[in-house]
A and B are shown apart, each in its own frame.
Chain A
């Protein structure tokens, strides 16, 4: 079945450093979504990418969708302590809302 792999599993950074998490799908995706989950919380939607090669920015966050629509990345510039949490990518291969989540990347930021 479809699999979504995410690396790294954990990342510890000093406040102000950059952070990147990578997501790879075993199948071509119709769209990919990114979610953030704070400790003890639930996933919160960040963004959706639909087009091949798409790049979207949200303040210090930059999201990319690969040309083959099988990989994606999230880059955070100049991390802040408020960025702490687990970032998940979730792929939808059939445009039905059935999301396959990666294992997540847990970000720790040292002040």
Chain B
């Protein structure tokens, strides 16, 4: 039973560029959430996708957008990258959007913006 997978593992981009990160949820899960974790900080909620729609959103600018596909996998897109976007981006999947189900985190994508 595959857990949550994310690609790529590491990424280096230049300021102003755009990036796409990918996530495949745990088998049987239909809800995907994305988090940004800066060094030494707790994960910060970006948004949640369910049934191919954005259901919840955290305090992130519109430069952060996402998508969920019919197979439940998801993408996180960040436009006009800033140095402050350097972080570990975590994808988490759960059975349903409700809070009573644990979230399974993937290994993350380490994004460095230079």
Contacts and interface: CB of A to CB of B under 8 A. Distances in A.
Q: Do A and B bind each other?
A: yes
Interface of A: 1, 4, 6, 30-31, 33, 35, 41-45, 48, 50, 88, 90, 92, 94-104
A95 B98 contact: yes
Contacts of A103: 41-42
Classify the interface of chain B: helix, strand, loop or mixed: loop
A97 B48 contact: yes
Interface of B: 31, 33, 35, 41-45, 48, 55-56, 58-59, 90, 94, 97-108
B41 to A, nearest CB: 6
Contact of A96 (B56, B90, B102, B105): B56
26 contacts: A1-B59, A30-B99, A41-B107, A42-B90, A42-B107, A43-B43, A43-B105, A45-B105, A48-B100, A88-B43, A95-B98, A96-B48, A96-B55, A96-B97, A97-B31, A97-B97, A97-B98, A98-B45, A98-B48, A99-B33, A99-B99, A101-B35, A101-B42, A103-B41, A103-B42, A104-B41
